[in-house]
Structure 1
């Protein structure tokens, strides 16, 4: 078990934010489905991105070159797609990546051959009911371990009208969007309830368009997908990740002065909503052409609707815990089925160190405090919980020990190095199992 001991201190300086994980997944998959060579720049090999790369290699994609910038540790990968997929491996290990699993399952249904998906951690039990309904309807054979991975599928997806609820993970919708344009006929995706996480669908539609795939969006209630389309190769540079930038914005706001580089202020990323939420709480956020800067501020509690930005919930809970007055986070029930039950995890760990948080069915009721105590907390093996707790340490009176601190490798392998670059004082060690 890896642990980090943090001696509380302000975080100040400039940070180069890592590339968007959501966009990296999508760019790699689109390049793999194209016939020809694509260059994808600004990639970090986090555990989730490695899972998608290996998964698409199992479907015939070739990574013909990797050019690494030694100073930034960013990679430019050259991908060669065949314009079709083939079965090079029967077993695809998705590690703990929900995106990899839910994006690649429909792709496997282009083959008509048996493919087995495996994983570890909470991914093993994360729900796939939306796909199972489609499989049952289309006669695609599948089996699992009492609803858990491994999942074995065999069959071919056919064009039709697909119905999906809008309050499920948008990953199911994106997974279908990758594949339906390649089928022999036209399809429609009908959204039967209000669509949450619209920003992720915007990212998918934009990336598909970059690779010459067109889907018509009818006000997010239905999507018209013409069949018989072909992906064309494209060169793409992944923009900075607002999901990760949110941690540094919070750290600067709570106790510091942090300039965040490499963010596209016109981004389609749903987690860009952190800018509006921080502003509503009274954070001092300064915009320049070069960066977005967050400065130590006195913030107030507000009501936060997390339906369109669920990945922000852990760090929003930290902001709320250290604000003046009351914060309510609502419409966040879906985060209970992420890498951890994030509502329970962040409430439990922050309460251990002096926060005043009560769980509700779909969110958190938070009474703000001025400072936290410090002590021992656990990441629940969840990268976003680990990073949120690290930010909370800046307002602790005593050192904070975070157990399972290496959970950050899932999405942000350099998080602890960046924390130190900004003045964080840490001691890392391994406690064994």
Structure 2
């Protein structure tokens, strides 16, 4: 177990934001379902991305890993090369691939690690029950054994559990012979992620009609088309940590982001501005200036749940009381993120009240510092580090290595920007 000691210091400089994990997952899957070769550029090899690469190779794609790119030789006639696919801790990987695997009538076993083992898949189970597709899990947990062929037709899917289920179906349904329609039966949370899926599908030759009211019409028999080059843009959810550290420090420039991005987490710019942070788009990137004062706010997290840990730590050192609402889905992420971030902030002098679907955070001028636990959750570890400059004493993060899930170079970048860190390995 890795303990990281962070001495309070104000960060400053430029950082190249990691590429969007959400977009990269989708690009790898689309390229793997083509009959042709695609070059995907600007790739960061986190554990989640490796999980998707390994999974698509297991389904017949050939993927050559470069320094920061992938050469993908796709295979539309997917088949199971190895019965077992380990999705590690990647919810995107397992939820995107289950319907794709169900387009072929071969037995496949999905496994995972950590919290992924018990993350809900009931929406797919309901579909399998209705279509009489064989599956077996272990009291609702992984491993999942699947054998059967998905049928085209009408799909009614809840939109308030995870948009990942809708994305998974959108990847799979064009491969079927008949036409299909997805009806989203509840308000769709995290809709921008579905918009990203539709954009990637279009770029790889797949067309889906959307009526704007939760109806997606998918023509069957479509073919994914390879691309000579596709470059993955920077990740706004990862930029949130640096934007906050820049506001609490001496200013940071985040490079690699697209101003016209479809990413829902781009809203972090508007939220931070509302909280008194000066952020401007300049030629070199997105520039955040030191903030004289952070103001409290009311934040609706229904469309941007991944931002909650970062916004919670900023609110903990704001003026006034911030409410984060519509965040109940955070309880079934890599950790129960509402419980995790509230408990850890309170350990170091924060004033956070955990609600069923949100947080009430009374801001303090300073936090005390001390030992916190990452909960083996990359976003919890990075969020806590973001507020270390406002601690009166060093912060000690237990399990800091968990950032490898999405951002392996986080601590290196943190140090390059002036972070004062030391690590100790305390064993398992």
The answer as to 2:313 corresponding to 1:318 is: yes
User: Which stretch shows the higher mean deviation, 296-305 or 282-291?
Assistant: 282-291
The answer as to 2:139 corresponding to 1:146 is: yes
Q: TM-score, normalised by structure 2?
A: 0.99
SS class of match (1:43): coil
Matches within 5 A, 1:244-323: 244-297=238-291, 298-323=293-318
Separation of aligned partners in 1, 2:400 and 2:26: 27
Partner of 1:72: none
Matches within 5 A, 1:343-422: 343-422=338-417
Matches within 5 A, 1:98-247: 98-234=91-227, 235-247=229-241
Deviation at 1:392, TM superposition (A): 1.3
Q: TM-score, normalised by structure 1?
A: 0.97
Partner of 1:82: 75
Contact 1:62/1:81 (<8 A) preserved: yes
**Aligned residues between the structures:** 426
In the TM superposition, structure 1's runs of 4+ consecutive aligned residues that sit over 2 Å from their partners are: none
Separation of aligned partners in 2, 1:395 and 1:272: 25
For residues 178-209 of structure 1, what are the alpha-carbon distances to aligned partners after superposition, in whole Å with 9 as ceiling and x for unaligned?
01011111101101111110110111000000
For residues 227-263 of structure 1, what are the alpha-carbon distances to aligned partners after superposition, in whole Å with 9 as ceiling and x for unaligned?
1100000120000000100100011112221011010
Deviation at 1:220, TM superposition (A): 4.4
SS class of match (2:74): strand
Partner of 1:93: 86
C-alpha spacing 1:5/1:220, structure 2 compared with 1 (3 Å): farther
For residues 91-140 of structure 1, what are the alpha-carbon distances to aligned partners after superposition, in whole Å with 9 as ceiling and x for unaligned?
00000000001011011101111100000100000000000000000011
Partner of 1:28: 28
Deviation at 1:77, TM superposition (A): 1.1
Gaps of 5+ in 1: 69-74
Separation of aligned partners in 2, 1:260 and 1:220: 35
Contact 1:36/1:83 (<8 A) preserved: no
SS class of match (2:423): strand
Partner of 1:330: 325
Contact 1:184/1:227 (<8 A) preserved: yes
Separation of aligned partners in 2, 1:153 and 1:397: 53
SS class of match (1:82): coil
Partner of 2:427: 432
User: Over aligned residues, Cα RMSD in angstroms?
Assistant: 0.7
User: Which stretch shows the higher mean deviation, 198-207 or 78-87?
Assistant: 78-87
Separation of aligned partners in 1, 2:424 and 2:60: 40
Separation of aligned partners in 1, 2:30 and 2:178: 20
Separation of aligned partners in 1, 2:76 and 2:86: 23
Partner of 2:65: 66
Deviation at 1:218, TM superposition (A): 1.1
Contact 1:40/1:76 (<8 A) preserved: yes
Deviation at 1:290, TM superposition (A): 2.1
Separation of aligned partners in 2, 1:246 and 1:254: 12
Gaps of 5+ in 2: none
Contact 1:11/1:255 (<8 A) preserved: yes
Contact 1:61/1:80 (<8 A) preserved: yes
Separation of aligned partners in 1, 2:143 and 2:423: 34
User: Which stretch shows the higher mean deviation, 294-303 or 238-247?
Assistant: 294-303
SS class of match (2:12): strand
Deviation at 1:296, TM superposition (A): 1.6
Contact 2:79/2:106 (<8 A) preserved: no
SS class of match (2:36): strand
Deviation at 1:287, TM superposition (A): 1.6
Separation of aligned partners in 1, 2:366 and 2:77: 56
Separation of aligned partners in 2, 1:336 and 1:87: 33
Separation of aligned partners in 2, 1:148 and 1:66: 32
